[in-house]
Amino acid sequence: MRLVLAILAEQRGEWRHGYDLMKAAGLLSGTLYPLLMRMTDNGLVEAEWREPAQQGRPPRHVYRLTAAGFALAIELTRESAPLSGKEMLA
């Protein structure tokens, strides 16, 4: 989940397609979709339908982080980041 959060947080306002996310995260669809479903259920990710770029193709789902999702992504990044000298002394 951290990885998906991090990828979505990189371009916070942008909507991403499922297949693009899969490739960016290096995850299989069997791992990514349950994650996205869970994250959407928990209000971390929002999803909506978009008309396809190519005619004759079905509408596609796109995803982006919600404010809560972005806050969690920042929190997790901060936790996993190496501690600064000041933080180590504190």
Partner 1 sequence: MTIFLARLLMTLASTSMGDDRRDWSLAMQAEYEVAAADGQALSFASGCLVAAWRELLASPQGRFTLTNYAAALGIMLPMAALQIGCAVFGLPYLYPGEHGLPGAMLVGGSHETLLRSIYLGAVPTLALIQLITGIGHVRLAWLLVERDWPGAIRWALWTLAGATALVIFMSVLFLDAQQALLQAAIVGLEVAAIAIGITRHAEIAAVRNPTG
* Residue ranges in contact with partner 1 by CB under 8 A: 17-19, 22, 28-34, 36-37, 47, 52, 57-61
Structure tokens at 74: 């920042």
DSSP string covering 34-79 = HHHHHHHHTTSEEEEEE--SSTTSPPEEEEEE-HHHHHHHHHHHHH
CB of 23 to partner 1, least distance (A): 9
Q: Given the complex with partner 1, which of 33 and 70 has the nearer CB atom?
A: 33
CB of 31 to partner 1, least distance (A): 7
Q: Given the complex with partner 1, which of 26 and 75 has the nearer CB atom?
A: 26
48 CB neighbour count, 10 Å cutoff: 11
DSSP annotation of 81 reads: S
Q: Given the complex with partner 1, which of 62 and 76 has the nearer CB atom?
A: 62
